[in-house]
Amino acid sequence: MKRIFAVCFLVLVSCASGSDFVPESVADHTGEVSRVEPLSWWVGMETPLQLLVQGENISAYDVRAEGGARVTGVHKADSANYLFVDVDVDVDRAGVCYLVFSQDGVDRFKYPYTIEQRREGSADRESFGTADMIYLLMPDRFVNGDPSNDATDDTIEKPAPDEFFGRHGGDIAGMMEHVDYIADLGATAVWSTPLLLDNEPRGSYHGYACSDYYHIDPRFGSNELYREFVAKAHEHGVKVIMDIVTNHCGTAHWWMDDLPFDDWVHQFPEYTGTNHVFSANMDPNAAVEDLKIQESGWFVGSMPDMNLDNPFMLQYFKQWAVWWIEYADLDGFRVDTYPYNEKVPMSEWNKAVLAEYPRFNIVGEAWTSSIPQLAYWQGGNPNKDGFDSHLPSIMDFPLREAIVGALPVDHPQWNQGLRRVYDCLSHDFVYHDLSRMMIFVANHDTERIGDLLNKDPERLKISMAMLATMRGFPQIFSGDEMMFTSADLSQGHGGLRVDFPVELFTERDGLQAELYDYTKKLFQWRKTKNVIHNGKTLHFLPRDNDTYAYMRYDDREAVFVFINNSLEPRAVSFDDYGFDGGVDVMSGKAVNKNTTIPAKTAMVVEYEK
């Protein structure tokens, strides 16, 4: 059906504080309006406000705004059950305004809509960056702080704590209980996998098949509780990054029974999945059809692919993002499955968020082994086709692959082992901004680092030392600080996303205590090291494939890292690297220019230049 872009009318109604509109003169709505999104708005916003109004045959009504706002345009959709209403908000008028619905010139009912004052300095909020360490957790597998919400009447899937892919009961209350643990570890930001409603009948614990973009899943908590969590995290010096999905929703999303427009989601004569060919986005030789399937095909059968080329869909996502930042006081976004989105509309989405919050950081998941393809997605990159994503940050999957491919190897062959890390970083010239890269060795979608390292605690320490000292900003996955491993490797995601035993928050002994303390010391040290946050990198060609040396340096100081991943101690002369010695960060002891690095050890030495 052809989309109708009909502007029905412009209502020139005075909405100043002196308006003579009397709310009592119009009846309250009695269910004619099912929903209005965004749920509320604020004065002084840069983002244009376009309300999605849903209700049975709502398009049969005219609508105006009274009391602090004015309607400037009304757009009908393909479905008669939607209106998209453009609204201007008075810059000096917070409070309740009213959407007044009428027919044949007679007011039928009104809908109250709240306009709030913004937080002071909201637009200038800082975000996360190289001074931060990000702690990633899956709420359902973290802590069950409120067992009363494990099952709710309005959600389908019930708790199944013994099932690999079932809901285990973790929630926002559990996250709030242990913010202090996250901060004590040295993390300065927390990224939780999605908390919005996912009402799929199976596998809903992960949250990536959204059923309602404006409400927290009640099995996790509520919108209000999430806002309290953010406030508590800020009290502990921890920023909050929201994990969002613009590429797809879930088949259980409320609009799937009645799409506003026929092209609201990508539809095909029969089910068509994405081909996963990221290269089609930048390959000058790629067939148009391959790009179409890459960005329009569904991620999986339960995740309908959103059509960001629909301008109403794109505007919906722009103001949805802004709404959550403003409402919850967020510090950043992580965007899931980034290259599966239509790239030009998504570039506009980034620009819109940054126009509202210029210092806000957004990191996109572009899961590729190709360094040039990854670099393509970072905003400001000088791409040959002229495309600019305006995406500030990217996840460094190639570096992850190099590290996890190098560390488990006992006797690396030529060009293997730590030479892989050297070769990966030798391509840093390709990237536009090295400070805007998230580095990691594992997350909720990859294998556990403990499994990949064959449960070797010394090599786990090496991985943490590398994350703490390399360019970019580090992220660690919940439990890796104590070398959690999969409950069952054959179960894939369900096996690696293990629960966090609550006793480990306060009582650790043996190897778990040793690994926790090592990680904590590293990242607490890192918090104050500008040379790590903003310094340059100098690395040295490995003398063999199981050692690697590099420096982070600025005009005042330097940090030297020597990684011995071999099975034998290695003698090192610092003369070879241009300095005499310094202080071992982990032991606090002075290190002479000639020293021996034990087997499977990373030595981190700081010194003044």
Q: What structural domains and CATH numbers belong to the chain?
A: 23-118 (2.60.40.10)
Do 53 and 63 touch, CB atoms closer than 8 A?
A: yes
pLDDT (0 to 100) of residue 93: 86
Indicate the Cα dihedral angle 531, 532, 535, 541, nearest 10°: 120
pLDDT at 2 over 80: no
pLDDT (0 to 100) of residue 407: 98
**CA distance linking residue 329 with residue 234, whole number of Å:** 10
Distance of CA 302 to the CA centre of its chain: 21
**CA distance linking residue 408 with residue 406, whole number of Å:** 6
Which residue type does 541 have?
L
pLDDT band at 419 (very low <50, low <70, confident <90, very high): very high
**CA distance linking residue 494 with residue 151, whole number of Å:** 20
* Torsional sign, CA 137, 143, 149, 151: positive
Quote the DSSP letter at residue 490.
Answer: G
Lookup: tokens for 58: 């709502």
Lookup: tokens for 164: 């690999």
Query: Nearest-5° angle of CA 133, CA 535, CA 466?
Result: 50
pLDDT band at 543 (very low <50, low <70, confident <90, very high): confident
Which backbone phi and psi does 476 adopt, to 5 degrees?
A: -120, 150
Spatial neighbors of 285 by CB under 8 A, at least 6 apart, are none
pLDDT (0 to 100) of residue 283: 96
Lookup: tokens for 399: 């570096």
**CA distance linking residue 338 with residue 387, whole number of Å:** 15
CA distances from 496 to 74, 409, 447, 477, 492 (A): 49, 22, 7, 11, 6
Distance of CA 150 to the CA centre of its chain: 25
Do 518 and 483 touch, CB atoms closer than 8 A?
A: no
Distance of CA 74 to the CA centre of its chain: 33
Q: What is the full DSSP assignment across 24-47?
A: GGSPBPSSS--EEESS-EETT-SS
Catalytic residue among 157, 198, 331, 336: 336
pLDDT (0 to 100) of residue 1: 43
Which residue carries 């899937």 as its tokens?
157
Which residue type does 263 have?
D
Write the pLDDT tens digit of every residue in 557-589: 999 999 999 999 999 999 999 888 899 999 999
Catalytic residue among 365, 447, 480, 606: 365
pLDDT (0 to 100) of residue 360: 98
Q: Which segments within 226-311 are labelled E, that is strand? A: 239-244
Spatial neighbors of 22 by CB under 8 A, at least 6 apart, are none
User: What does the pLDDT average to over 528-543?
Assistant: 96
pLDDT at 462 over 60: yes
Catalytic residue flag (residue 336): yes
User: Which of 182, 199, 268, 198 shows the shortest CA–CA distance to 233?
Assistant: 182
Write the pLDDT tens digit of every residue in 192-205: 999 999 999 999 99
pLDDT (0 to 100) of residue 19: 61
Three-state DSSP at 278 gives helix
pLDDT at 3 over 50: no
pLDDT (0 to 100) of residue 324: 99
User: What does the pLDDT average to over 296-318?
Assistant: 97
Spatial neighbors of 138 by CB under 8 A, at least 6 apart, are 170, 192, 193, 205, 206, 444, 478, 497
pLDDT at 450 over 90: yes
User: Which of 255, 345, 262 shows the shortest CA–CA distance to 4?
Assistant: 262
pLDDT at 16 over 50: no
Lookup: tokens for 491: 């179960």
Do 602 and 568 touch, CB atoms closer than 8 A?
A: no
pLDDT band at 609 (very low <50, low <70, confident <90, very high): confident
Do 347 and 390 touch, CB atoms closer than 8 A?
A: yes
Write the pLDDT tens digit of every residue in 118-163: 999 999 999 999 999 999 999 999 999 999 999 999 999 999 999 9
115 class by beta-carbon count within 10 Å (0-12 exposed, 13-18 middle, 19+ buried): buried
Mean pLDDT, the chain, whole residue set: 95
pLDDT (0 to 100) of residue 92: 82
pLDDT at 18 over 90: no
User: What does the pLDDT average to over 246-270?
Assistant: 98
**CA distance linking residue 467 with residue 439, whole number of Å:** 7
Indicate the Cα dihedral angle 281, 282, 286, 290, nearest 10°: -10
